[in-house]
Amino acid sequence: MTPLVLGGLAGPALADHTPAPTSVTVVGSLQSELGCPGDWQPDCGATTLQPVAGSPGLYQGTFDVPAGGYEFKIALNNSWEENYGAGGVAGGANLALTAPGGPVTFYYDHNTHLITDNLPDAVGNVAGAHWLSSTTIAWKGSPVTAASYRLYTAPDGGISISGSQLSGGQAIELSRQATGLSGELATRFPHLSGVPVLTIPAADAGRAKELLKGQVLLAALDAAGNVVATSGVQTPGVLDNVYPGALQRELGLIWKGQKPQLALWAPTARSVQVKVYPDGAGGEPSAAVPLTLDNDGVWTVEGDKNWKGSYYLFEVEVYVPETGKVERNIVTDPYSLGLSTNSERSFFLDVDDKALAPDGWNKISKPALAKPEDLSIYELHVRDFSISDQSVPADHRGTYKAFTDADSNGMKRLKEQISAGINAIHLLPVNDIATIEERRSLHQEPACDLPSLPPAGEEQQECVARIAAKDGFNWGYDPLHYTTPEGSYSTNPEGATRTIEFREMVAALNNAGARVIQDVVYNHTSGAGQNSPQNLDRIVPGYYHRLNPDTGTVETSTCCANTATENGMMGKLMTDSLVTLAKTYKLDGFRFDLMGHHSKQNLLDVRAALDKLTLQKDGVDGKNIYLYGEGWEFGEVANDARFVQATQANMAGTGIGSFNDRLRDAVRGGTPFDDDPRIQGFATGLFTDPNASAANGSPEEQRENLLLAQDQLKVGLTGNLAGYSFTDRNGATAKGSDILYNGQPVGYTNDPQEAITYVEAHDNETLFDALAFKLPQGTAMADRIRMQNLALSTTALGQGVSFWHAGAEALRSKSLDRNSYDSGDWFNVLDHTDATNGFARGLPPAVDNGDKYPFMKPLLEDPALKPATADIAAARAGAAELQQIRKGSPLFHLGTAALVQQKVSFPTGGPTQTPGVVVMNIDDTVGPDVDPKRKGLVVVFNASDEATTQNVPGTAGQRYSLHAVQAGGKDPIVKTAVHDEASGTFTIPARSVAVFEAN
């Protein structure tokens, strides 16, 4: 499965043979040095290569690159859609560049996709050797003809090669094992299975801690003693091996009474000192104190009580393989609890200081939640919520504080949603973000009259793009510090204000009746290496990121620098951070970005750590914190290549949720990655109301695909249970795991709480925009609204955890933008007055949408597709009724697989079922009485453009009434739905979902 989103940024290319590119760009950590506004920007003209005359497919460019270590790759056509890395692999690993300072020429051959430069290869520049334990090295790429092997070490670096001899280091003779890895090492490093293994003598293995503080290089020699191959050495395995006690240490800022203590894990450092500053920027340190190293690789210092309220930085003296020498790196604390503006310095913050707690913080009342299946989650971006809300004080817009403005339009709307049934607010990343300027006074606005521009114009995106790096908007999937709130969402990014205001936001939402869930991003950082603002790689070089096993370059399959949470101390950082966030901000859940790039054990460790938190001791009930994430499988970890992943199927039985793309695609049609976005599904007219796209197939194929989608939907309505048994479209008795989705089982959970049931999220097109693509263009707005609510009903009325994206209830559009992570407030508008839903605000940014412009332009130019205020109000009313119905009966969230099997059925299945119609019966007369108010429910989802009459066995002689919410609601059409008691038939109008109660 292709990932739903890649950290809010670009994804790996999938092309093998493609047409000649319109542009070839060197992208990487060197771009900001070469005139680009930032790094990793495929549309920056300053680093484009030019065709070489007389050499078709060959491109080159020469740039004056400052001295330093960099990572880079090639992107084509000003986009991430097609990019190449190491070995010419599409979407492959970054290449390493050690520049001496001066001109560097880059070459790209489109015939082979290989990328080269004119610099001589530095010895050890490629690191295919893996030091796994004090005695064991595995060398991927080891020459089989070598007669002997040596490990060269040099405390200060400087190992060099002249001819066939190495100089500048001391050699340790190694022996080669006859077999590969075995035992515990084979289990920990499955991707190194079969790799040649070398053994370090016991006496030298005992010096591993000392040797790891300098340069290490592996060499293979022939019988005459000539060097035939060298490799740099990846060291995370051995660091975990020789410093096991570090896993039990408390790191970061710890208060001992009034005195602060600092603890930093930096096992390869020569020295560490802390510099204390009175202010968040500028000036000289008021103190500079050395830290002391212990046997766990942890450096500690006890500070002065006067440090409280001050700022600090660490100076870490450490050998850096990237530069080949010892560096003095000035870094913030990776465990920072507070920061100065733009993360320049860490802040001595005492989270237990009563002055930082809002009134009633220690007695805050959490909205009740009996079980995770009771959750109805609403995904919201902090800035989106209030930046355009004129009822919010100007200095609160786009900030945490806006949630405390109880009478604002936004909070009134949010309270309406909560009253209807939403009970948890999922906040897009609110950790410290790398790419947003935190001084709000410096945020720039588009210098255009955007509302006056044509609905399908390109001027809007051009105007937005010019200030995108300085506008204050970003989804935030580029973390800098994991445990400190983002400063741009605070009225004052300096010091403790962001902590206070974040807590005020949580309290306001809890008091309004909603739990608070934080979206967290531990699978990657915003950068790596010496030239990155990220501090991890400058504290323990080469440890915190997942490295390519052949080259040692940082893997970037997530979009950016992938973290290696399988390494002990990165996994610990993740767990420690989450525990701190839960305690400090009384959070009720965490959603993991690209969860499948973590190991299952990572998530189980987090679960276990949170479960230990109690109200009495920690102020939060850790067992009541819900965990879920994106269980996609892709990249270098796919198919459990490095560990058992936290993917959809692997998480069955853990109680940890994952997003159910099966139901999403069955309802919407196609996938988010189709070349033709008009592929239809259950709620978008497949077979019953076909559009003009040949991609949907013949009528016979459409019918077959629709019936498959109906089976997929039925499994989704159970909470995607793998073991749920029902009658499939062929009339056979099937389990959820027997129904297929792109060759994979549809049902993969053991419990309904393990499925996040959704049809829209911040990723990809909104539901309204998907309907714009997929419904016949002439479909009336009233019918579009009906299909919008029908699609939403599949999440609200299912057994899994219901999940809605902010604005789904109000026909939210992003003007067809499929990836609005940096598209600014204009394309991400969330209007609480219903004046606009965001449609027809110009063609969205070409970098992610240009290939769809032929589909988009006629839609954006069609005024009939832009809803009026009354249309949006009607959609909201219908959506609220769905939430009220879900909230009103525990039959929609039974909570166990056994109860779902016992009570939920789909009685009109089989080959004669009506295309476009799904009937769900929830019978409360069998098994325990779950809902004393009613004997059962029958739900009919009619996605077709015609009324339907469905016979439901067992309902004759029993009175079923249209649900009271719908009977008293604002939709006159659904009120015509009836049950005939004599025959047991239900008649439902077109494009409607009707819920019937048996009393």
Write out the catalytic residue numbers.
Answer: 593, 630
End-to-end CA distance of the chain: 44
Dist. CA 948–CA 254, nearest whole Å: 66
Dist. CA 743–CA 473, nearest whole Å: 38
Phi, psi of 572 (to 5 degrees): -65, -45
Q: Is 625 in contact with 662 (CB distance < 8 Å)?
A: no
Q: Is 340 in contact with 281 (CB distance < 8 Å)?
A: yes
Three-class HEC string of 612-659 = CCCHHHHCCCHHHCEEEECCCCCHHHHHHCCCCECCCHHHCCCCCEEE
Dist. CA 905–CA 334, nearest whole Å: 51
DSSP states along 123-174: TT-S--EEEEETTEEEETT--TT-SEEEEEEETT---EEETTEEESSEEEEE
Dist. CA 266–CA 331, nearest whole Å: 12
770 residue type, one letter: A
At 273, list the tokens: 């000192």
Return the H-helix or E-strand segment holding 870: helix 869-888
Q: Is 807 in contact with 783 (CB distance < 8 Å)?
A: no
Question: Taking the CB of residue 552, how many other CB atoms lie within 10 A of it?
Answer: 23
990 residue type, one letter: A
Q: Is 915 in contact with 405 (CB distance < 8 Å)?
A: no
Secondary structure (3-state) at 913: coil
- 602-637 burial, b at 16+ Cβ within 10 Å, e below that, comes to bbebbbebbeebeeeebbbbbebbbbbbbbbbbbbb
Q: Where are the beta strands (DSSP E) in 406-478?
A: 424-427, 431-433
**Helix/strand number for the chain, H first, E second:** 22, 50
Secondary structure (3-state) at 210: helix
Q: Which residues pair with 998 in a beta bridge?
A: 936, 960
Integer CA distances (angstroms), 7 to 4, 342, 501, 588, 597, in order = 9, 21, 26, 22, 11
Question: Taking the CB of residue 810, how many other CB atoms lie within 10 A of it?
Answer: 24
Residue of 297, 210, 342, 279 lying closest to 539 (CA atoms): 297
Q: Which residues pair with 937 in a beta bridge?
A: 922, 997
At 929, list the tokens: 């009485």
Residue of 505, 504, 514 lying closest to 420 (CA atoms): 514
Rounded (to 5) percent helix, strand, coil in the chain: 30, 25, 45
Dist. CA 630–CA 617, nearest whole Å: 31
Return the H-helix or E-strand segment holding 579: helix 568-585
At 677, list the tokens: 């976005």
Residues 6 or more apart in contact with residue 590 via CB below 8 angstroms? 517, 518, 519, 520, 578, 581, 582, 606, 625, 626, 627
Using DSSP bridges, classify how beta strands 376-380 and 801-805 pair: parallel, antiparallel or unpaired: parallel
